[in-house]
């Protein structure tokens, strides 16, 4: 749905931010003798971005009643079933929902002049040594910053470029030709997989399963490590992350424990979201890690010099 005149004309001297107050709920009034919004077991979710609205739920009746309520309060244009929203292309079938950003990807390639480029097999070179350099700075860094910003938005449906984009976003203050060349490599990778998408299966079980990993001392300058994880609901990927840790770790086991902690926080957040959507998740979530040191310490929490920090954290 689209709200007319959501952005009123006018000149402002400062930026204005608005947010719903804590505990705010939409009260659907009775209309034409009906008692609305009380269907047992039904829930309705509204996603609002400025003047664009997505409505979802498990009861078509409740959705229709909510739309009628909004129509009485505001001038709203109904655009039908969700197909395109903020660059996201949504396709439905009996097997599930497919979400991609093909049009958005083509726009990035066109604006960068790389529509006819040769595709790359991987988004970033293996064992890269990218860092802040002292020469070959870009005269106009805005082009690089804008490109990285667009790639960050593209990670919504392209988790495969998340790590590469995370690395390149660290150099937006003083980008060089080497950084721009690496950004173009990501575009060449996208050229070979423009239609790749995220698929949410309708036949998958509603069971959270998470995979956690890390890269110890990945940053050559700060020696900070990288946390990475991906979380599935059944067979559908719903959350992923690749980000530098805020502290410097002295061993790989400590790094893995930090990554596991971050992944656990995301699992708790998703469990809370499922509960809010009235989705029962009775079984425990599964968290997997491949670090042998962490696995052995978990099974046998012995104390020695290399695990002193971890032991103190548990105390």
Residue ranges per structural domain of the chain? 2-80, 99-191, 205-314
pLDDT for position 312: 41
pLDDT for position 8: 61
Give how far Cα 278 sits from Cα of 40, 57, 66, 201, 236, Å: 11, 10, 18, 19, 19
Selected from 3.90.226.10, 3.30.420.10, 3.10.20.30, 3.40.50.720, the CATH number assigned to the domain covering 205-314 reads 3.30.420.10
Phi-psi region of 127 (alpha: psi -120 to 50; beta: other; left: phi over 0): left
Tokens of residue 291, six digits: 């670090």
pLDDT in tens, the chain (315 residues): 888 766 666 777 888 887 877 766 655 555 444 445 556 677 888 888 888 889 988 888 888 888 888 888 888 888 889 999 988 999 999 999 999 999 999 999 999 999 988 999 999 888 777 887 767 888 888 999 999 999 999 999 999 999 999 989 988 888 989 999 999 999 999 999 898 999 999 888 889 999 998 888 777 677 888 888 999 999 999 999 888 888 887 777 788 888 888 999 999 999 998 888 878 888 999 999 887 777 777 777 665 555 554 444 443
pLDDT for position 29: 53
The CA dihedral of 201, 202, 205, 209, to the nearest 10 degrees, is 30
Cβ proximity of 106 and 196 under 8 Å: no
pLDDT for position 299: 73
pLDDT for position 190: 94
Angle at 59 between CA 57 and CA 62, to 5 degrees: 90
pTM, two decimals, is: 0.78
Residues sharing a CB contact under 8 Å with residue 158, sequence separation 6 or more, in sequence order: 101, 190, 196
* Count, residues in the chain: 315
Tokens of residue 66, six digits: 């909510």
pLDDT for position 185: 94
pLDDT for position 103: 94
d(CA 1, CA 18): 21
Residue tagged 């173009």 (tokens): 184
Q: In the chain, what is the straight-line distance between the N-terminal and C-terminal CA atoms, in Å?
A: 52
């Amino acid at each position: 749905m689209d709200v007319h005149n959501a952005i009123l004309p006018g000149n402002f001297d400062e930026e204005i931010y608005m947010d719903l107050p804590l505990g705010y709920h939409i009260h659907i009034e009775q209309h034409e003798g009906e008692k609305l919004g009380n269907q047992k077991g039904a829930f309705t979710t509204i996603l609002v971005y400025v003047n664009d609205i997505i409505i979802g739920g498990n009861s078509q009746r409740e959705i229709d009643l909510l739309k009628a309520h909004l129509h009485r309060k505001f001038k709203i244009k109904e655009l039908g079933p969700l197909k395109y929203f903020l660059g996201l292309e949504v396709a439905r079938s009996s097997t599930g929902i497919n979400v991609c950003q093909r049009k958005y990807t083509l726009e990035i390639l066109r604006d960068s002049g790389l529509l006819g480029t040769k595709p790359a097999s991987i988004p970033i070179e293996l064992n890269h040594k990218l860092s802040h350099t002292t020469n070959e700075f870009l005269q106009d860094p805005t082009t690089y910053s804008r490109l990285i910003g667009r790639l960050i938005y593209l990670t919504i449906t392209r988790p495969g470029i998340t790590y590469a984009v995370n690395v390149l976003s660290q150099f937006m203050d003083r980008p060089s030709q080497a950084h721009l060349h690496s950004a173009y490599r990501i575009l060449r990778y996208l050229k070979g997989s423009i239609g790749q998408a995220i698929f949410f299966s309708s036949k998958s079980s509603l069971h959270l399963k998470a995979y956690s990993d890390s890269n110890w001392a990945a940053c050559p300058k700060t020696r900070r490590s990288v946390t990475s994880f991906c979380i599935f609901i059944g067979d559908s990927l719903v959350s992923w992350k690749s980000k530098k840790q805020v502290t410097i770790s002295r061993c790989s086991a400590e790094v893995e424990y930090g990554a596991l902690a971050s992944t656990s926080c995301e699992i708790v957040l998703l469990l809370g979201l499922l509960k809010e959507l009235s989705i029962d998740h009775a079984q425990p979530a599964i968290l997997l890690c491949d670090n042998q040191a962490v696995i052995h310490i978990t099974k046998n929490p012995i104390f020695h010099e290399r695990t002193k920090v971890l032991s103190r954290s548990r105390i």
